[in-house]
């Protein structure tokens, strides 16, 4: 009996010593610094955003189809019925949740790049505005961060102005994804939706439109400042119909976030991209960024490059119910002139050289 007790005591002593050794080893390991924790949070914030915009809509649609063939078939049936009933909501003001604009996650998202908003002129709350956002880039990071999240201080820089951002109308046909977009304050880039924001919500509204769209994303690559704008005049016509002032904005650094395989005009791959764009509304770009574990590996996350969005001087626009083509052309030229002025006055401040030019196609 004494032998058994002695053996047990020896084992307990050994176990206690092992635990103490393990604790000493654990305590000797350096704890993550505040900077490491901050970097990890920034990476996670960007990861959730990229996954949401690239996968949430498709995954939700596939899940809904899968549930139709299970015992939970009633859930997708009821949700589809709800979508049919709620079909016009995205074009009638949506369902914006102001609390999402103040999420702490967006501050980590902002700091990852980082993203900065620069004001050059005041915007009076007594007017409505259409903000032209350039360039499109791959995922419109600058436009999203500045005009949707509020993390860069839009509300403080432009008091009394409520910003909105438009995106492809097809996104609002995807289950659950449409709810996600509306809750954040995004709207379909349609005449009806933009007209509602500019006519049914009083004054002090600024609707941001990424004018270059999918066509512009096909030529997006570092060092290239080419915009698709010469024949994009619908936003000017909308501005004239509602008397909304036109405001140019340019996000310096937007095209540096990803690397894209750019196919030459006339090649069969570029032809496929163009056809897909016309059918689906967006262009299938072959791009890559950094990986999840290392900035030197390849993946689908954007590179951490600074983005500075400069909001320019508003172009005063009269309210004309049925503007003529000549009037639209005139204000389109005034807008391009204001955009070129904005670009040339700020390019050397935010990473470009004096010789860089803005090409408008």
| Closest to 182 measured CA to CA, from 86, 54, 249, 251 | 86
154-209 pLDDT per residue, tens: 999 999 999 999 998 888 989 999 999 999 889 999 999 999 999 988 899 999 99
Token reading at 308: 């500075």
Q: Residue 302 — very low, low, confident or very high, per pLDDT cuts 50/70/90?
A: very high
40-88 pLDDT per residue, tens: 999 999 999 999 988 999 999 999 999 999 999 999 999 999 999 999 9
User: Where in the chain are the domains?
Assistant: 34-360
Token reading at 33: 């610094």
Residue ranges with strand state E in 211-283 = 226-227, 245-252, 259-260
- The answer to whether 42 touches 108, Cβ cutoff 8 Å, is yes
pLDDT at 334 over 80: yes
pLDDT at 263 over 80: no
104-144 pLDDT per residue, tens: 999 999 999 999 999 999 999 999 999 999 999 888 999 99
Token reading at 19: 């635990």
pLDDT at 1 over 70: no
DSSP per residue over 2-46, as a string?
A: HHHHHHHHHHHHHHHHHHHHHHHHHHHSPPPPHHHHHHHHHHHHH
Point out the least confidently predicted range of 203-212, 235-244, 351-360: 351-360
Q: Is 116 in a helix, a strand, or coil?
A: strand
**What pLDDT was estimated at residue 6?**
45
| Closest to 189 measured CA to CA, from 76, 90, 115 | 90
Q: Residue 23 — very low, low, confident or very high, per pLDDT cuts 50/70/90?
A: low
| Closest to 360 measured CA to CA, from 189, 238, 206, 215 | 215
Q: Which residue has the higher pLDDT, 273 or 313?
A: 313
**What pLDDT was estimated at residue 259?**
84
pLDDT at 271 over 90: no
Q: Which residue has the higher pLDDT, 257 or 24?
A: 257
| Closest to 208 measured CA to CA, from 164, 150, 142, 146 | 164
| Closest to 152 measured CA to CA, from 70, 76, 208, 192 | 208
CA pair distance 270, 276, nearest whole angstrom: 10
DSSP per residue over 253-267, as a string?
A: TGGGS-EE-PPPTTS
pLDDT at 282 over 50: yes
pLDDT at 351 over 70: yes
Q: Is 196 in a helix, a strand, or coil?
A: helix
**What pLDDT was estimated at residue 22?**
62
């Amino acid at each position: 009996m004494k032998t058994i007790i002695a053996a047990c005591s020896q084992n307990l002593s050994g176990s206690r010593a092992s635990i103490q050794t393990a604790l000493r080893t654990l305590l000797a390991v350096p704890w993550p610094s505040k900077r490491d924790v901050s970097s990890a949070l920034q990476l996670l914030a960007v990861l959730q955003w990229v996954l949401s915009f690239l996968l949430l809509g498709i995954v939700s649609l596939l899940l809904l189809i899968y549930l139709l063939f299970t015992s939970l078939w009633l859930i997708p049936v009821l949700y589809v019925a709800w979508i049919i009933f709620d079909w016009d909501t995205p074009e009638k003001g949506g369902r914006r949740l102001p609390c999402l604009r103040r999420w702490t996650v967006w501050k980590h998202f902002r700091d990852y790049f980082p993203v900065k908003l620069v004001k050059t002129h005041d915007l009076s709350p007594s007017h409505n505005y259409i903000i032209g956002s350039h360039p499109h880039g791959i995922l419109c990071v600058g436009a999203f961060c500045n005009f949707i999240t509020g993390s860069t201080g839009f509300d403080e820089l432009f008091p009394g102005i409520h910003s909105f951002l438009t995106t492809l109308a097809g996104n609002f046909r995807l289950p659950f994804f449409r709810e996600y977009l509306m809750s954040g304050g995004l709207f379909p880039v349609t005449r009806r939706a933009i007209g509602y924001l500019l006519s049914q919500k009083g004054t002090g509204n600024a609707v941001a439109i990424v004018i270059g769209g999918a066509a512009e994303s096909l030529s997006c690559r570092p060092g290239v400042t080419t915009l698709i704008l010469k024949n994009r005049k619908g936003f000017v016509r909308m501005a004239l119909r509602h008397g909304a002032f036109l405001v140019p904005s340019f996000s310096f650094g937007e095209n540096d976030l990803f690397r894209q395989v750019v196919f030459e005009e006339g090649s069969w791959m570029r032809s496929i991209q163009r056809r897909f764009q016309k059918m689906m509304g967006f262009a299938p770009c072959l791009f890559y960024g950094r990986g999840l574990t290392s900035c030197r590996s390849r993946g689908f996350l954007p590179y951490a490059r600074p983005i500075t969005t400069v909001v320019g001087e508003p172009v005063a626009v009269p309210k004309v119910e049925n503007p003529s083509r000549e009037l639209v052309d005139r204000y389109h030229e005034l807008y391009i002139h204001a955009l070129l002025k904005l670009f040339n006055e700020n390019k050397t401040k935010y990473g470009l050289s004096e010789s860089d030019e803005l090409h408008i196609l």
